[in-house]
């Protein structure tokens, strides 16, 4: 009797295991940033730029695509969404292509530069926030510094940008790309401005060496010295 009562439970368990084994997990969704449609400069250009280092906040160095929740926390996007090639590489390539187009120069390289490359301007960029959520706007917060070829500080700025999206993950990634393109527009304008200012500033003029003044001849009057002979001392 006990065996008869146990059989339906065992059959149900086997059936559940069969259904579980047949279920296929949802495919992983991969995303990458959109570089926009920047034109490739046809000339080398008259400005050389070193882009980097570009540093990202810790949570942005994850391969998982994270979304901002209503309480401010972060959670992985639905479908196990991931960055296809890594967010760091995506951001660097987007900024490199956008700046080359905006400055009309192909003389842009990522840090560290090859030996022999001398940059007119170096861009140090720190991105502390780049995210969005199903009900949260896309937000970009960053800081950049511009240095000349001697490492002297030229300019710096704190940046906070935001943009609305349609809610789905694909549109969130699209809008994050737009924010980075807006950042590159600010950077391109600032780089061009400091480069033009340095080109217009006159070269420092070295003071000319003044000729040594010759000792002036003595103007003291002649004094006679009385001895057996009159001797005049000058």
Task: List strand residue ranges (DSSP E) for 57-120, in order.
Answer: 66-68, 74-76, 82-83, 108-110
Burial of 134 (0-12, 13-18, 19+ CB in 10 A): middle
Q: What pLDDT, on a 0 to 100 scale, did the predictor assign at position 45?
A: 85
Residues 194, 109, 152, CA angle at the centre, nearest 5°?
35
Q: What pLDDT, on a 0 to 100 scale, did the predictor assign at position 204?
A: 53
Q: 143 - beta bridge partners?
A: 126, 158
The whole-model pTM stands at 0.76
Q: What pLDDT, on a 0 to 100 scale, did the predictor assign at position 221?
A: 54
Residue linked to tokens 């994270």: 66
Q: What pLDDT, on a 0 to 100 scale, did the predictor assign at position 214?
A: 59
How many CB atoms are located within 10 Å of the residue 207 CB? 5
Name the class of domain 25-200: alpha beta
- B/e letters for 213-234, b = 16+ CB within 10 Å, e = fewer, are eeeeeeeeeeeeeeeeeeeeee
Q: What pLDDT, on a 0 to 100 scale, did the predictor assign at position 197?
A: 87
Contact criterion met (CB below 8 Å) for 153 and 145? yes
- Written as tens digits, the pLDDT of the chain (234 aa) is 444 444 444 444 444 444 445 567 678 899 999 999 899 998 888 899 999 999 999 999 999 999 999 999 999 998 889 999 999 999 999 999 999 999 999 999 999 998 999 999 999 999 999 999 999 999 999 999 999 999 999 999 999 999 999 999 999 999 999 999 999 999 999 999 999 888 776 555 566 656 565 555 555 555 554 545 454 443
| Cis-peptide, bond into residue 129, ω within 30° of zero | no
**Left (φ > 0), alpha (ψ -120 to 50) or beta: where does 134 sit?**
alpha
Q: What pLDDT, on a 0 to 100 scale, did the predictor assign at position 101?
A: 96
How many CB atoms are located within 10 Å of the residue 30 CB? 14
């Amino acid at each position: 009797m006990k065996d008869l009562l146990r059989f339906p439970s065992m059959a149900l368990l086997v059936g559940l295991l069969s259904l579980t084994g047949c279920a296929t997990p949802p495919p992983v969704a991969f995303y990458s940033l959109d570089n926009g449609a920047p034109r490739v400069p046809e000339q080398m250009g008259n400005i050389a730029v070193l882009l980097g280092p570009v540093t990202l906040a810790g949570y942005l160095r994850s391969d998982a695509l994270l979304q901002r929740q209503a309480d401010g926390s972060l959670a992985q996007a639905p479908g196990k969404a991931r960055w296809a090639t890594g967010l760091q590489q995506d951001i660097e390539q987007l900024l490199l292509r956008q700046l080359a187009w905006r400055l009309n120069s192909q003389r842009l390289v990522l840090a560290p530069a090859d030996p022999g490359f001398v940059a007119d301007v170096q861009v140090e960029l720190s991105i502390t926030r780049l995210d969005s959520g199903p009900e949260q706007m896309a937000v970009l917060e960053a800081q950049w510094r511009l240095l000349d070829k001697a490492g002297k500080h030229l300019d710096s700025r704190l940046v906070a940008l935001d943009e609305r999206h349609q809610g789905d993950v694909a549109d969130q990634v699209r809008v994050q790309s737009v924010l980075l393109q807006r950042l590159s527009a600010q950077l391109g304008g600032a780089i061009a401005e400091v480069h033009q200012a340095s080109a217009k500033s006159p070269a420092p003029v070295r003071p000319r060496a003044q000729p040594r003044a010759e000792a002036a001849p003595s103007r003291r009057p002649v004094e006679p010295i009385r001895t057996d002979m009159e001797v005049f001392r000058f």
